[in-house]
């Protein structure tokens, strides 16, 4: 049990589909993150939410749309993706009241775009 739960674990979608990734944490953290992990590339930070407010958007294409309805839930809405978007998408959370705290990750959603 990681404390951060991501669903689905695997997703295959066509380029014209619309799907959503879900992340849920019950660790009492107020910051939540989306990372993209591609083969042979460093981890890429996509979005950060702090107390439900988006505080970071690292030039992510608009075909990725995050949503954070409360501090425990985070979504990533996907539409008209490209094959190069195939990757492992990781959600993480952390406390916000002090620096130097570790991130807590979910097990990720393995996305394949066909």
Binding region for other proteins (CB under 8 A)? 2, 4, 6, 30-31, 33, 42-43, 45, 48, 50-51, 55-56, 90, 92, 94, 96, 98-108
Shortest separation between residue 43's beta carbon and other proteins, angstroms: 5
Which CB sits closer to other proteins, 16 or 40? 40
Which CB sits closer to other proteins, 13 or 88? 88
Which CB sits closer to other proteins, 42 or 69? 42
Shortest separation between residue 114's beta carbon and other proteins, angstroms: 21
Cα dihedral 9, 14, 16, 21 in deg (nearest 10): 0
C-alpha pair distances (Å), 80 with each of 9, 38, 114 = 20, 19, 11
* Cis status, amide bond into 8, omega within 30 of 0: yes
- The residues that bridge with 5 in the sheet, in sequence order, are 24
């Amino acid at each position: 049990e990681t404390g951060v739960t991501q669903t689905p674990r695997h997703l295959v979608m066509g380029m014209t589909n619309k799907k959503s990734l879900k992340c849920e944490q019950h660790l009492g953290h107020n910051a939540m993150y989306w990372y993209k992990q591609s083969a042979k590339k460093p981890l890429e930070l996509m979005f950060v939410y702090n107390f439900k407010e988006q505080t970071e958007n690292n030039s992510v294409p608009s075909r990725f749309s995050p949503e954070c309805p409360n501090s425990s839930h985070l979504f990533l809405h996907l539409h008209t993706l490209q094959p190069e978007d195939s990757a492992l998408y990781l959600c993480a959370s952390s406390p916000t009241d002090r620096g130097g705290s570790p991130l807590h990750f979910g097990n990720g959603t393995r996305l394949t775009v066909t």
